[in-house]
Amino acid sequence: MPPEIAQFLSGSVLLFLLFGTGALVAAIAMVLFPNPVRSALCLVLNLFCVAALYLLLNAYFLATVQVIVYAGAIMVLFLFVIMLLNLGAPDRAIDRLRWQQPVAIGVALVLASVFGAVVYESVPATEPSVQMAVPAAPEAPSDRPAYVQVRPDPDTMPPVTPDTMGTASGIGRNLYDPGQAWLFPFEATSILLLIAVIGAVVLAKRRLPGETDLATTRIGDGGSNE
């Protein structure tokens, strides 16, 4: 391969083109399919392609989480609700606002021009270096005897570099580091998930006879259901 072409075509570029195109095609097919089940399956394909892009970006842990949480749990939930509510009817059968589609396409074109202008103007002339300078590992001698260290000492572990920060170890050591800003959002996320679980149960649970339905009670109704 001539060197001027080898400069543009490498393995990572080819993989990006493959999975980026796959993600785009799957996303467009998701919007174009009238059948919600096919849309959901296209979204699964899109999520897999995006997970492959995460791997290209050295985000190994997030790629795994993407497949397990998004393509696994969330999409199963979507398909379950589609089939539970029998929503497989094509979209056009319930389409009543004819003018909405051209308006939506116009809005999308405006947004596309805004995005294009931002990307065109804000991409710097020279890319920042992919590899950041990594400070050398601190040679902190441990005053404890060796047999006390039943688990790795954070002082003697190799530092988290841009290459290793996508691994489970790198994610965990940054996420739970009290010296960084991520511990409090992490705890807040746990409360958010708890609220979501309680809210979903309250919303979706079947009313027992004689019980006030929290989800559909109107304020000021005195607890009586409509």
**Contacts to another protein from residues 162-191, by CB under 8 A:** 162, 165-166, 170-171, 174-175, 182, 185-186, 189
Cβ pair 23, 66 in contact under 8 A? no
Binds another protein by CB under 8 A, chosen from 137, 193, 212, 221: 193
Cβ nearer to another protein, comparing 148 with 214: 214
Nearest-angstrom CA–CA distance, 67 and 44? 9
- Near another protein by CB under 8 A, which window of 50-58, 141-149, 151-159? 50-58
d(CA 183, CA 205): 33
Nearer to another protein, 146 or 191 (CB): 191
Among 5, 146, 150, 208, binds another protein (CB under 8 A): 5
| Per CB under 8 A, 157 contacts another protein | no
Q: Does 8 bind another protein (CB under 8 A)?
A: yes
Choice from 130, 146, 150, 208 touching another protein (CB under 8 A):
130
Residue 26: CB partners within 8 Å, gap ≥ 6? 42, 43, 45, 46, 49
Q: Is the Cβ of residue 100 or residue 149 nearer to another protein in the bound state?
A: 100
90-119: contacts with another protein (CB under 8 A): 91, 94-97, 100-101, 103-105, 107-108, 111-112, 115-116, 119
Q: Which of residues 207-226 bind another protein (CB under 8 A)?
A: 215-216
Environment class of 158 (CB within 10 Å of its CB; exposed 0-12, middle 13-18, buried 19+) = exposed
Q: Which is nearer to another protein, 134 or 148 (CB)?
A: 134
CA dihedral 137, 142, 147, 152 (to 10 degrees): -30
Residue 60: closest CA among 179, 177, 163, 134: 163
Q: Is 148 in the site for another protein (CB under 8 A)?
A: no
For residue 79, give Cα distances in angstroms to 84, 155, 166, 193, 203.
Answer: 8, 47, 30, 21, 19
Q: How far is the CB of 32 from another protein (least distance, A)?
A: 9
Q: What is the total residue count of the chain?
A: 226
Cα distance between residue 20 and residue 31, in whole Å: 17
